[in-house]
Structure 1
């Protein structure tokens, strides 16, 4: 069992594995095998590009700028956007920015197909979200990189499961916290304590 989130040493980040706890994943016997996977062409390209994006734009570039930098370094030209209807305005601006910067953009809304929620045994007049459809339509468009924008929890899981292209996240949905889910973490020991650590 690994508990990196509770580790106070982080020997992996300091290169001091002699100080690592016994259950440190850095001591796993398969690390060398894992390193070999990075030698596969696409994995190598993604790993190198992402490392360069971090080192070249650290604390200077926004995530949007980093996504474009990453795409350019990987030579990804056909970009897919899978977005929630609740962030349609944001998707429109994102699409405009990407197109202006030389990318081909295919965007698919969550309500594509207009499938009734009765299909999944829910009584509602509103159509269900169709993340599998978003993934399949972007697969059909042969996108090089797909960007997730505000898909609901679970819908994002299905999209990730069926997307053939690599995926990056631009923004996640949190209707309560203005799409900033870390707000709950920052308030976990104060205003949100009773919500997140309810007494039995």
Structure 2
């Protein structure tokens, strides 16, 4: 692999965190950065009121509560500081209980919210070309597709000004984020095997429990 093909994945210093230039590797993206591109991004933060405010508030929450708040608490703090009036929750129906609890917490905090499940509309998967043999029920009756685009459009109709994704499937979360008309965060990432904790697959990647032994050359 040539130096020009190396990326941050090959870095062992993360010296960019403190601008420790003496420890930048030769291929460092910061050291080799296009200054015009860097300046362009800073101008976006400075000149776009919405994006700039998101960036500032996020940094302030990190600075004040690093390692002290859970992601749920951080999300509530972010909603409050951004002065969002109505929050949309796009949830997998398999996490309706978790979304119900989140909704109750937000309501108790005085935050208006609206929950939409992924199966809303009850459209069979065959309507978008999924063959019966690839449905979970293998074609033994109706099986509703997940409809993240509909979730996004319903939340747009409800005039939410911030949306939360709760455990939508891979790809479905992509579609929701693409079609959401307001800033969106992911609170829960679905991983049915690991209890919705996908990073555990990476934590165990170099152990005897790894599912990536071939890729990582682990015996």
Which runs of no fewer than 5 residues in structure 2 stay unpaired? 133-138
Corresponding position: 1:15 with 2:19: yes
Q: Is the 8 A contact 1:83 1:108 kept in 2?
A: yes
Q: 2:207 aligns with which of 176, 190, 193?
A: 190
TM-score normalised by structure 1 residue count: 0.93
Q: 1:28 aligns with which of 26, 33, 56?
A: 33
Report which stretch shifted further, 82-91 or 51-60: 51-60
CA displacement, residues 21-46 of structure 1 (integer Å, 9 cap, x when unaligned): 34433232111111111111001110
> Structure 1 188/121 Cα, relative in aligned 2: closer, same or farther at 3 Å?
same
Partner of 1:90: 98
Partner of 1:167: 184
TM-score normalised by structure 2 residue count: 0.86
Which runs of no fewer than 5 residues in structure 1 stay unpaired? none
CA shift for structure 1 position 56: 1.3
CA distance in 2, matches of 1:80, 1:22: 45
CA radius of gyration, larger in = 2
Partner of 1:50: 58
CA distance in 1, matches of 2:208, 2:155: 41
CA displacement, residues 99-156 of structure 1 (integer Å, 9 cap, x when unaligned): 1101110111000111110112222421000011111111111211101100001100
Alignment RMSD (CA, Å)? 1.6
CA distance in 2, matches of 1:136, 1:24: 42
